[in-house]
Structure 1
């Protein structure tokens, strides 16, 4: 049984990894994040505070627990914040990966690094793993640079790129496009939704399973992990409205240019999943299946707090 250290364990993917490892007993878990532990269960694993930008502390925690694998989920993922605060973006998304790769090389640790479809320009999706990267934003470039660090590193590494992750945490502390759209439509808020960007949304549980499979199989190289359904962002929100029987007339399709967002987004990404399916045994849910899983989790959470 491998000993796995997860960075960013308070985030959506981090909490799903905690949940998966605890429920399946497939690994020993060291959960790490900045600040206090926000996962409700405290037994069956170890939690340690660790800021990935504090290299001496990070090195101390990693050497103290001696993991076999590090699954690195911590990052700045807000595309517009990265555009506005380039120094923060570089510190968290590039320099922290550089430091991690050195520590992993020194201690013979397998590093699984989370990356993104935003390393592509969106002109020729869906993309296979060997496609040339060409980011159009500071965020995308930071992730592409972190990948280059690993390409040139002597540590054992896996890069898992993913797309538009959705799901729910136990404390509802992390939002995403599905939860945002559901909440806004329930409140009767009019929504301008971009109709000329296409994605393959990823259920957080699917991504967590792929990370664990990569750890168990010590799978080297790059893997593309997403849901199986390609859709525009507008179509995605339409599916959300239809699933929860909400008023779709509140939605207005708009162009990317009309939103005047700080950072540019790629138009059409999406992934070819053949490698992950063949090498890892990855089996993604459909978007509707993902919404069904999410709905059950929301009802369970609501029952718990009633």
Structure 2
């Protein structure tokens, strides 16, 4: 089994490198647009530079590496940035998928494609795989378009959708809800956290496991991979405060209208994960277990 991962410098990409590099009998090829951030941590892992928006590069790398499976994690995921830079968003989230699908068809590569709860309107979560997409922002629209490209692929494919991924990554600019709340409260800084958006938060390790299970089972179709706990960010923040024994009175409960954001967010998403449990043997962490894992990794880094 040869698995090529796109976006290996990202949060999910890094978790996949950690997980897959430990699997016996598996050859891993990590790819990303920038320099390899994991060279010092996983020197044994083959790294190939790859800009997925470059059709010639995509064709050449997949022809050269001949993977049996491709896990596509690279994407433009900053929702407001996607709204402001729609051409760049489309190039990275849709056009790149067209290039990858063409290469997968040419070499009969099994494709595992990452998607998002933001393809939905937010009116009816938690959602099963057959829920009808109705995005409320451009990021969501780009991911719906990408799913349609994948679904037309003439080689085996699986779409893995996920929700509010959190975790710790090496040399990574973004924070996550657990560390943001912990660090703010430790600094005695009051924070406003929304209580009218509902999600099933996903530990990055769980998402990596879901992608690996999809590849391992040669799964086809759509799978929802997240936790099964419907929580608001405010409820998450209270649990973080409780875990670290910090002052929860610094957390102010607000609704989404408090913040002026460029892109609209769906209010209620979250996933029903019965299919992934049944078909793939997927078992997520609880949010408390996720907090503990993030805390352990943050202290070790």
Q: Give the TM-score of the pair, scaled to structure 1.
A: 0.95
Shift of 1:230: 1.0
Contact in 1 for aligned 2:10/2:172 (Cα 8 Å): no
SS at match of 2:22: helix
Distance 1:190 1:258 in 2: 15
- Superposed counterparts of 1:269-284, under 5 Å: 269-284=269-284
Contact in 2 for aligned 1:168/1:174 (Cα 8 Å): no
Aligned length: 300
Shift of 1:172: 4.4
Distance 1:9 1:298 in 2: 20
- Superposed counterparts of 1:26-105, under 5 Å: 27-39=26-38, 40-105=40-105
Shift of 1:23: 2.4
Shift of 1:41: 2.2
- Superposed counterparts of 1:193-204, under 5 Å: 193-204=193-204
Tell me the residue number matched to 2:143: 143
Contact in 2 for aligned 1:190/1:251 (Cα 8 Å): yes
Distance 2:253 2:121 in 1: 22
SS at match of 1:252: strand
Tell me the residue number matched to 2:177: 177
Shift of 1:97: 0.6
SS at match of 1:226: coil
Tell me the residue number matched to 1:241: 241
Tell me the residue number matched to 2:8: 9
Contact in 1 for aligned 2:178/2:294 (Cα 8 Å): no
Tell me the residue number matched to 1:256: 256
1:159-195 residue CA offsets vs partner (Å, 9 max, x unmatched) = 0000001110133444222222222222222211111
Q: CA RMSD in A?
A: 1.2
Shift of 1:256: 1.1
Worse-superposed segment, 37-46 or 232-241: 37-46
Shift of 1:249: 1.7
Contact in 2 for aligned 1:102/1:155 (Cα 8 Å): no
Distance 1:198 1:25 in 2: 39
Distance 1:6 1:53 in 2: 15
Gaps of 5+ in 1: 302-306
Gaps of 5+ in 2: none
Shift of 1:247: 2.0
Shift of 1:245: 1.7
Worse-superposed segment, 240-249 or 156-165: 240-249
**C-alpha spacing 1:296/1:42, structure 2 compared with 1 (3 Å):** closer
SS at match of 1:231: coil
Tell me the residue number matched to 1:164: 164
Shift of 1:267: 0.8
Shift of 1:219: 0.3
Tell me the residue number matched to 1:267: 267
